[in-house]
Amino acid sequence: KRVDFELPGGNYPVSDSMYRVEVRGIRGSFSDSLVTIDSIAYMPNYNEPAFADIHKYNQGRWELVCSGIIIRGIDFTKQLTDGGLRARVCEAASWYLDYYRDLRKPNNPHPPDAVLPHTIINSIKTPITLDSIIFNNGTIRHQERDPGSTHASLLTITHARVIAHPFCTDTSSLLYSEPLRLSLNALFMGQGKMVATIIYPIHQKQFDLHFAATIGPFDVPVLNSYLITNERKEITKGKCLGGELRMDVKAGHGITTVTPRYEDVSLNVMATDAKQSRGILEGIKTFVANSFVLRTNNVDNGNSKAVSGTTTSIYSSKEEFFQFIWLALRKSLGKVVGF
């Protein structure tokens, strides 16, 4: 005899009142050892302008939605007797992650300590073991609104498939000592194919991380959606042929190496004020940048290999997880490109 159940879901406020968790359409089957959920969302309670207005200082705004979730291979017997969750796989048909920060607001001179993902995971008291987590067809959008800009910058990762294993907070499980291993396949700015692997020890106090990725060809001017707004520079031409990056973090000390391969890159220096047109000064800066600062080509040529940029970064307790990674990658990339 089949035993199925259905729950309505609901909205659950988060303690700081800035966010809520929404759960929709929970259905399950004890007979099939599975649960399906229409959607789970971590949603801000305010739109982007209102969120920025509420805060005295600039603050990152996050929005995460996962849809079409299926949890298979659930051990309902263990769940009912011991509590917690034990399942073979948790899979989402689609998902998106939006990040927005309004930099027109000043930086907090005394920011609170940021909380890293592994610290959050270690705070989970409920024993959870998921052999694997699969997120299909995802979209990541990163936006920042700089002072003087007319609109927010935009970087995107689309068609993202993420596989993570194992996820375990059950101290009695043999999987508890294993690091979280993630793989990512996606498109960067709708063009460059990304393949990445991440190894993240989530059950320790110190911050360790290994990140390695390759990226396929894309047209460099697609970066203008970020560069014009945030850097006041415009790429006029150029082709990225591909590249590799590697980051190793040990106890918060990071070493990052990037090797972008590109050719025929040139740029325009824009007026500092987004509402002003380029003038003579910007023309002079453009000439100097293209002639003496910018590395316009970086390719393998016979015995000469493309230049790599290696830099070090020390994690600050005030930095958010993705902020630390982004700044480290940008620092190494700037060492190669010239800005």
CB atoms within 10 A of CB 53: 12
Tell me the pLDDT of the chain averaged across its residues: 93
Q: Is the pLDDT of residue 290 over 80?
A: no
Residues 6+ apart with CB under 8 A from 207: 116, 118, 249, 251, 252, 315
Q: Is the pLDDT of residue 292 over 80?
A: no
Amino acid letter, 171: T
Beta strands in the chain (DSSP E): 4-13, 19-29, 34-44, 61-72, 85-102, 128-145, 155-165, 167-168, 180-188, 192-200, 209-215, 218-219, 233-250, 253-269, 309-314
Confidence label for 338 from pLDDT (cuts 50, 70 and 90): confident
Over residues 290-316, mean pLDDT: 89
Residues 6+ apart with CB under 8 A from 140: 96, 97, 98, 99, 156, 157, 158, 160, 186
Euclidean distance between CA atoms 38 and 74, whole angstroms: 18
What pTM did the predictor assign? 0.91
pLDDT 10s digits, 183-236? 999 999 999 999 999 999 999 999 999 999 999 999 999 999 999 999 889 999
Q: Are 91 and 40 in contact (CB under 8 A)?
A: no
- CA-nearest of 157, 141, 301, 138 to 218 is 157
- pLDDT value at residue 9: 87
Confidence label for 280 from pLDDT (cuts 50, 70 and 90): confident
pLDDT 10s digits, 44-95? 999 999 999 999 999 999 999 999 999 999 998 877 777 889 999 999 999 9
The tokens for 117 are: 């993902």
- CA-nearest of 55, 62, 63 to 103 is 55
- pLDDT value at residue 253: 98
Over residues 167-182, mean pLDDT: 94
- The CA–CA distances, whole Å, from 22 to 8, 97, 259, 267 equal 11, 15, 41, 45
Confidence label for 153 from pLDDT (cuts 50, 70 and 90): very high
Residue owning tokens 């415009």 = 234
- The CA–CA distances, whole Å, from 172 to 78, 93, 127, 129, 177 equal 13, 31, 9, 10, 10
Euclidean distance between CA atoms 3 and 6, whole angstroms: 11
Confidence label for 2 from pLDDT (cuts 50, 70 and 90): confident
Confidence label for 275 from pLDDT (cuts 50, 70 and 90): confident
The tokens for 290 are: 């293209």
Euclidean distance between CA atoms 63 and 57, whole angstroms: 19
pLDDT 10s digits, 250-269? 999 999 999 999 999 999 99
The tokens for 280 are: 């003579």
Q: Is the pLDDT of residue 169 over 80?
A: yes
**Share above pLDDT 90 across residues of the chain, in percent, rounded to a whole number:** 78
Euclidean distance between CA atoms 198 and 180, whole angstroms: 8
